[in-house]
Every structure is written in C-alpha cells, then in structure tokens.
Amino acid sequence: MALQIKKMSEAESLRVYTDAGDFFGEIEDAIVSKNRIESWKVRAAKDSFLSKALTGVKGVIVPHQLVKSIGDIMIVSKAAAPSYEEDKE
C-alpha cells in the first residue's frame, strides 16, 4: 500500500466524523509545530454533534493523536467528543 500525501489546504472544510459514525464538524485549520501537525481546529457545523453538545461554541481543538483516518472525510476517536445526551422528550 502506497502512502498518500495530501496538502493541508485540501483538509480545509473536510467533514469530520467520530469512529462511532456521528457527524462531528468540519476542519477549519491545522495547528503546526516543528513541521508536524499537533492538532486540528474543528468548526461546529450546523447539525453537527458539536453544535448540539456545545451550544454557542464555535468549535474545538482536537489533538492529532485522536485522528484515526484522513481521506475524503476525517475520522476521529469518540474520545474527542464531549459527553452529550440528547433530550428524549
């Protein structure tokens, strides 16, 4: 299997999902230190898990070690998500 390299600009606005299948948000930016990606800024997009769990918050920073996969979408560990229970009315 060949290593595929992507430009960071290609990751902008990439949709982010948890490994449990929840729509988490969209990539806003990467935080780079010493030529390595340290973390990702994830925007709380409309109808995303973040917008429901953290009302009024624009987004979160996800450490790169919680990223499981990057391709057409980004998959992050469920551990990146704040605990949240939907109201069951």
16 in a structural domain:
yes
Q: Tell me what pLDDT residue 17 has.
A: 94
Residue 65 sits in which domain range?
A: 9-79
In the predicted model, what is the mean pLDDT of the chain?
83
d(CA 38, CA 32): 5
Q: Tell me what pLDDT residue 85 has.
A: 54
Q: Tell me what pLDDT residue 39 has.
A: 93
Tokens, residue 69: 């996969």
**CATH label of the domain that carries residue 73:** 2.30.30.240
Number of folded domains in the chain? 1
31 in a structural domain:
yes
21 in a structural domain:
yes
Tokens, residue 72: 């057409």
- Name the maximum alpha-carbon separation found in the chain: 49
85 in a structural domain:
no
87 in a structural domain:
no
Residue that the structure tokens 């449990």 belong to = 20
